[in-house]
Amino acid sequence: MSSYLNEKLESIYQEVLHRNPGETEFHQAVREVLESLGPVLVKYPEFADQKIIQRLCEPERQVIFRVPWQDDRGQIHINRAFRVEFNSALGPYKGGMRFHPSVYLGIIKFLGFEQIFKNALTGMPIGGGKGGSDFDPKGKSDGEIMRFCQSMMTELYRYLGEYTDVPAGDIGVGQREIGYLFGQYKRITNRYESGVFTGKGLDWGGSRARKEATGYGTVFFLDEMFKVRGDSLEGKTCVVSGSGNVAIYAIEKITSLGAKVVACSDSNGVIVDKDGIDLALLKQIKEVERRRISAYVQEKKSATYMEGGNIWTVPCQIALPCATQNELNGKDAKILVDQGCIAVAEGANMPTTPEGIHVFQRAGIAYAPGKAANAGGVATSALEMQQNASRDLWSFEYTEKRLQEIMVDIHRNCYETAEEFGASGNYVVGANIGGFLKVASAMVAMGVI
């Protein structure tokens, strides 16, 4: 299912397909943005004259390199790594690194492309980029993870810098990996350049509330959508896919605001706990012991585990997809709506397929796309850069307050922009146009570069 593009945008899209064969996730992300931009080109013809959209769809720089490393038995492995420096109109390239076997150029490009608009929406001075590798961290020892990170950084360091490109975490990359990557960067460059990485540990340049920021921010955005509708999160039943960094802190915040989370998942299965997910137990299993989510039912007998189950079949009023791209399709969306779901906010990047989005929008439920709803993570990364620049460390309360203000602003911008362009209540249109306008204006101002 796809909507209509006018002739100009259709020809730009065809060119993107032609220039980037086989990169289906990138095509999907581009198409979704282009579908919102028709009225923008009518109002601002200079963006078409200046070929802003064509320039935005072509990364400024793409790096692909080999990462050889040795496992604990001395066997040699070769992985492939990427850094796509997509757009630096608003600041240094900024975006996470993903370690997952599914990673290839098309995934990094879709993520980097989304990141341009997301970062613009935060109002912070950050451009868009993304990186990663097809390295699978599952089942690897700490030593293997360290050697992989060191080998990766031995090449990657050349392209980074606090004024150039500032990576962070994403799937499979948390504080442990960032420690190894930052350590090797520091060693090679002989510079303690805190601002070159975000998501660092608190003792070595990290920011309070960065770990919590993406999940918390998604719930702050959701809360704003409920306020607009004269409703609240209090007493609502919720399901959250995934059980990683974003999922855990979305569960923490929404629970503290009075909702009950009855299910979460990993790529093997789904747990359902009618009493509400036990957050302390979940953190112990996932953050401390790094075990599979199935371990939850061994500790809590009242919960159930569905191996290979589909989390979207669990009845709920709120769905928070916090795992990965295209994890919620048209059929899932229909099941959710039919079972009484009234709101969806994306903690993950592009988790809902175009068909799924269409189902939500036709049903008129509150739907927040990831580039708006999960922007709290990168926004707090920008707050971390700000603290690094001033050699400061803010309190948790102050940092969380800043994060909440940013999410309220992003919500307002998306809401008002959708109104202005005749798409009231459509946060996809609001986010795409809101982000695009900031980047496009900066690009025009800087000339043909």
What does 175 interact with, of ligand NDP, ligand 2IT, none (CB < 5 to 8 A by kind)?
none
Residue 29 within binding range of ligand 2IT, rule CB under 6 A: no
What would the DSSP string read from start to end of 324-369? -TT-B-HHHHHHHHHTT--EEE-SSSS-B-HHHHHHHHHHT-EEE-
Stretch that binds ligand NDP, among 228-236, 265-273, 300-308, 430-438 (CB under 6 A): 265-273
Listed in sequence order, the residues at least 6 apart from 429 whose beta carbon sits closer than 8 Å to its beta carbon are 36, 417, 418, 421, 423
3-class DSSP state for residue 79?
Answer: strand
Of positions 205, 377, 434, 435, contacts ligand NDP by CB under 6 A: 377
Of positions 59, 91, 92, 96, contacts ligand 2IT by CB under 6 A: 96
Cα angle vertex 117, ends 113, 119, to 5°?
105
- Reference 146, options 182, 109, 120, 188; nearest CA is 182
Rg over CA atoms, the chain: 21
Bridge-based pairing state of the strands 318-321 and 304-307: unpaired
What would the DSSP string read from start to end of 27-50? HHHHHHHHHHHHHHHHH-HHHHHT
Size of the site for ligand 2IT (CB under 6 A): 12
Tell me which residue has tokens 């309070």. Answer: 208
Of positions 243, 349, 352, 413, contacts ligand 2IT by CB under 6 A: 349
Residue 28 within binding range of ligand NDP, rule CB under 6 A: no
> Distance between CA 350 and CA 365 in Å, rounded?
18
Question: Based on CB atoms, which residue is closest to ligand 2IT, 126 or 366?
Answer: 126
Residue 245 within binding range of ligand 2IT, rule CB under 6 A: no
Stretch that binds ligand 2IT, among 94-102, 155-163, 309-317, 426-434 (CB under 6 A): 94-102
Residue 79 within binding range of ligand NDP, rule CB under 6 A: no
130 catalytic residue (yes or no):
yes
Query: Both tokens of residue 207?
Result: 């920011």
Query: Both tokens of residue 135?
Result: 């390295």
Q: Where in 101-140 is the site for ligand 2IT (CB under 6 A)?
A: 115, 118
Query: Both tokens of residue 38?
Result: 């028709």
Listed in sequence order, the residues at least 6 apart from 203 whose beta carbon sits closer than 8 Å to its beta carbon are none
Residue 244 within binding range of ligand NDP, rule CB under 6 A: yes
Q: Which member of 94, 109, 118, 130 is catalytic? A: 130
CB of 446 to ligand NDP, least distance (A): 27
Binding mask 171-210 toward ligand NDP (x if CB under 6 A, else -) reads xx--------------------------------------
Contact 231, 237 (CB under 8 A): no
Binding mask 319-358 toward ligand NDP (x if CB under 6 A, else -) reads ---xxx----------------------xxx---------
Question: Based on CB atoms, which residue is closest to ligand NDP, 17 or 104?
Answer: 104
Residue 404 within binding range of ligand 2IT, rule CB under 6 A: no
Q: What are phi and psi of 5, to 5 degrees?
A: -115, 140
Question: Based on CB atoms, which residue is closest to ligand NDP, 110 or 360?
Answer: 110
CB of 257 to ligand NDP, least distance (A): 20
Question: Based on CB atoms, which residue is closest to ligand NDP, 129 or 169?
Answer: 169
Residue 95 within binding range of ligand NDP, rule CB under 6 A: no
Query: Both tokens of residue 354?
Result: 């175009």
- Reference 374, options 197, 151, 178, 117; nearest CA is 117
CB of 381 to ligand 2IT, least distance (A): 3
Q: Which residue is nearest to ligand NDP (CB)?
A: 244
Q: Where in 32-71 is the site for ligand NDP (CB under 6 A)?
A: none
Listed in sequence order, the residues at least 6 apart from 365 whose beta carbon sits closer than 8 Å to its beta carbon are 337, 341, 342, 343, 344
Strand partners, 271: 264, 305
Question: Based on CB atoms, which residue is closest to ligand 2IT, 173 or 225?
Answer: 173
Active-site positions read 130
- The footprint of ligand NDP (CB under 6 A) covers 100, 102, 169-172, 214, 242-247, 266-268, 322-324, 347-349, 374, 377
- The footprint of ligand 2IT (CB under 6 A) covers 94-96, 115, 118, 168, 170, 198, 349, 377-378, 381
